[in-house]
Amino acid sequence: MEPRRRARGAGLVIALLAVFAWQVLRPHGAVYRGRPLGEWMEEAYSERVPWRPPGAPCPAELALRERGAAAIPLLLGMAGTHAGGFRDFVGMLASDSDAAWLQLPPQRYKHDMAAWGFGLLGSAAAPAVPDLTRLLHHPEEDVRLAAVECLGALGTNAVGAVPGILEVFQREAGRVHRSRRNPDLTLFEAAARALGEMGAAAAPAVPALQGETNQYALIARLRIQGASLEPFFARLGTTTNQGAWQEAETALNQMALRLGPAAEPALPHLISAIAATNQFIHCQAIACLGTIRRRPDLCLPALLPLLCPVEEVPQARDTVCQVLSALGQFGPAAAPAFGQVRAYLASRDEGLRILTTNTLMAIDPAAAARAGVRLPPDAPPANR
């Protein structure tokens, strides 16, 4: 009987914790279509919707744009949430499939959600800048990082925060230079990226950025000065040093969507890197073309010849998968590739068939349906 009592007691404690987490930790506030805006955002991030191929806005995006400034308190709450303690425990349970019956609110990605939300609101979120600037002095580093990334997402709508972000950058630069081991560059690089988003208004930061060799500091300085990014992109043209190439590609991959048309001069360097004999560089160059998702007239002719029958050339599977993923990122702009992609539906490789299905749906859902493409019943809603 004793073990049963203990089990019932443990179950009761977990249930009470679940009720508490649901009531206290779930975002409240603005409502859209009868549901709290926070729930829409949690759902979007659980499906990685913000990184989806171009297409119709998801409900979370529509909700944010509709609510406008009314969504600011929710986003500020997310940005100011410190991970740790009870939240970590709830987040762990929320991501545990065995505890799915509890329907706990996820605690991960809150800072990412806040930055995404502020970026979508743009000028409508300008009233949040003073509060976000105050969060730059928060005692917890993860909250300071969230504030920097939210201000960076607001870009020129947050130029009043430049002094505060510069202070963070200089403090982190000093810490990095004093470190005798491999320091954590996360906040240092985030501050550099945010300064770059401010454009000419961040001119006071140029002297501090000038002396740094870090990729993000270089990009930030060039953007603030309104200069060409070619000095940075040129680093992608040398593939003999995998480490150096990877650092440059990682920085570009992370900033590609924010750079927009300014990332286009990198495309010839990436297309050239596809020919590298280093398999890692080869595949990452393909992936980065998909992340940038611009100039299909240049990229598709470089990608389509890489599609070959994997049953006949098994060693090409990784390349083919990367190409399919990249084409899916291009969305409807990859329509000329539809026929070649469809051929992989007949593959004996189940993983390849699933990837092909998702790619075809991203390129042209109507044509995919006419071709008999059907998503499995348990496919994430974001892919439907």
The Cα 345–Cα 318 span in angstroms is 17
Whether residue 58 lies inside any domain: the answer is yes
Residue 103 predicted with pLDDT over 80: no
Mean pLDDT, residues 305-331: 90
The 8-class DSSP code of residue 57 comes to: P
Mean pLDDT, residues 90-113: 57
Angstrom distances, CA of residue 325 to CA of 4, 141, 329: 50, 34, 6
Instruction: For residue 232, list its beta bridge partners.
Output: none
Q: Could you tell me if 272 and 237 are in contact, meaning their C-beta atoms sit under 8 angstroms apart?
A: yes
Instruction: For residue 32, list its beta bridge partners.
Output: 35
The Cα 322–Cα 355 span in angstroms is 10
Give the domain range for residue 320. 265-384
Residue 32: what residue type? Answer: Y
Instruction: For residue 36, list its beta bridge partners.
Output: 31
Q: Which two tokens stand for residue 288?
A: 């980065």
Question: Which of 242, 241, 220 has its CA nearest to residue 229?
Answer: 220
The Cα 159–Cα 141 span in angstroms is 22
Residue 143, pLDDT score: 95
Whether residue 183 lies inside any domain: the answer is no
- Cα 191–Cα 129–Cα 111 angle in degrees, nearest 5: 60
The Cα 298–Cα 304 span in angstroms is 11
Mean pLDDT of the chain: 82
Q: Which of 72, 103, 135 is the last residue of a domain?
A: 135
Q: Coil, strand, or helix at residue 72?
A: helix
Q: How confident is the model at residue 64 (pLDDT cuts 50, 70, 90)?
A: confident
Whether residue 243 lies inside any domain: the answer is no
- Output 107 or 216, whichever has higher pLDDT: 216
pTM of the model: 0.75
Q: Which of 110, 135, 160 is the last residue of a domain?
A: 135
Residue 23 predicted with pLDDT over 60: no
Whether residue 93 lies inside any domain: the answer is yes
Which of 46-60, 254-268, 299-313, 322-336 is predicted with the least confidence, judged by mean pLDDT?
46-60
Residue 378, pLDDT score: 44
Whether residue 26 lies inside any domain: the answer is yes
Whether residue 151 lies inside any domain: the answer is no
pLDDT in tens, 363-384: 988 888 887 776 554 444 433 3
pLDDT in tens, 327-339: 999 999 999 999 9
The Cα 173–Cα 170 span in angstroms is 5
Residue 99, pLDDT score: 47
pLDDT in tens, 222-241: 999 999 998 889 889 889 98
Whether residue 187 lies inside any domain: the answer is no
Residue 3, pLDDT score: 56
Whether residue 270 lies inside any domain: the answer is yes
Residue with tokens 């399919």: 324
Q: Could you tell me if 336 and 301 are in contact, meaning their C-beta atoms sit under 8 angstroms apart?
A: no
Domain total for the chain?
2
Q: Which of 135, 156, 177 is the last residue of a domain?
A: 135
